[in-house]
Structure 1
């Protein structure tokens, strides 16, 4: 049985979505960020980066949310959440997965933690304003990508879609939130109807009212 070390609405959300989508057995283990449990010795023994999430699969331990998502997709090929190697869809998957984690997620981290990116607190408001614009441009690109297709990599659901939904949840309080974009918003509302996403949001206490 899988064990997912998680914290609600954290980067563990995408792996949580995927575990529910796979309809496989798993155990959720809360890592209390409020008490810095992710920085304590027992957790660091599993995940030396001291970040959430961590997945334990027997003797195999995997950390980094995107890596866990891909690991789970590969472990359950029948559900086809990863396109087959050598196909155009696989190339698109790799492209968008890297874009989500290395570009959108990275820019969101600067937006949420601007104090980590300056030595003068008077610069924080400027960083936040710049990030609002940068993230809006990223969301606009994703909106264009979704104009003529059902999912991010084409017509088949993939790990990318769950990862993007997680990041969209994080970005929902921006001046131009993901739901404000025509095609991206419609896509997110469709995903919000999936039983796996409904179950996870209920467990993690996230309302999906805005997605209805």
Structure 2
């Protein structure tokens, strides 16, 4: 049995999607982010970084969303959510997972929390504008990559696809959101039809109307 410490539409969404895809035995434990519960003593005992999510699997406790996604994929090899060792697509899996988390997600965090990246409040609007351009260019790259593909890596869904779906949800209010790109929107709409996505979005109160 897994326990996923989560908050709706937070970085816990990708692990939540993977747990549903795996049809794993898991429970959700809400961390009340609105009340800063991720900084509570009890939560910090599990995750000293004080961030969401955290996964508890028996005597193993792990944090950081991509690390949880990779761990779950590795722990359930028959689900093929990560290419096997020796598969040429394995390197591409790590390439895209690192791009999604170290580049796209990191730049989105600057866009959402510009006040953490300046000591001059007058710079905030300029940071937001610059970041929106940067993130839009990143989704344009992903759109190009998906031109002739159903999935980001290989011929079947992987943890990368669920991670990208989460980031696309976050970016839906950009001037040019992910659904405004031809190939990326087709890809996202196909993902939105999967049972795992439907179940998670229902639990996390996200409407999929725009993806239909």
Q: Distance in 1 between matches of 2:26 and 2:115?
A: 36
Give me the TM-score of the superposition, normalised by structure 2: 0.99
Listed as ranges, the gaps of 5+ residues in structure 2 are: none
Counterpart in 2 of 1:27?
Answer: 27
Q: Distance in 2 between matches of 1:40 and 1:132?
A: 33
Shift in Å, 1:29: 0.3
Secondary structure in structure 2 of the residue aligned to 1:73: helix
Displaced runs of 4 or more, over 3 A: none
Q: Distance in 2 between matches of 1:167 and 1:200?
A: 15
2:202 maps to 1:198? no
Secondary structure in structure 2 of the residue aligned to 1:61: strand
Shift in Å, 1:124: 0.5
Counterpart in 1 of 2:49?
Answer: 49
Which stretch has the larger CA shift, 182-191 or 82-91?
82-91
Shift in Å, 1:88: 1.6
2:210 maps to 1:210? yes
Q: Distance in 2 between matches of 1:74 and 1:185?
A: 28
Shift in Å, 1:35: 1.1
2:130 maps to 1:130? yes
Q: Distance in 1 between matches of 2:39 and 2:176?
A: 34
Secondary structure in structure 2 of the residue aligned to 1:52: coil
Counterpart in 1 of 2:14?
Answer: 14
Shift in Å, 1:86: 2.0
Provide the alpha-carbon RMSD of the alignment. 0.5
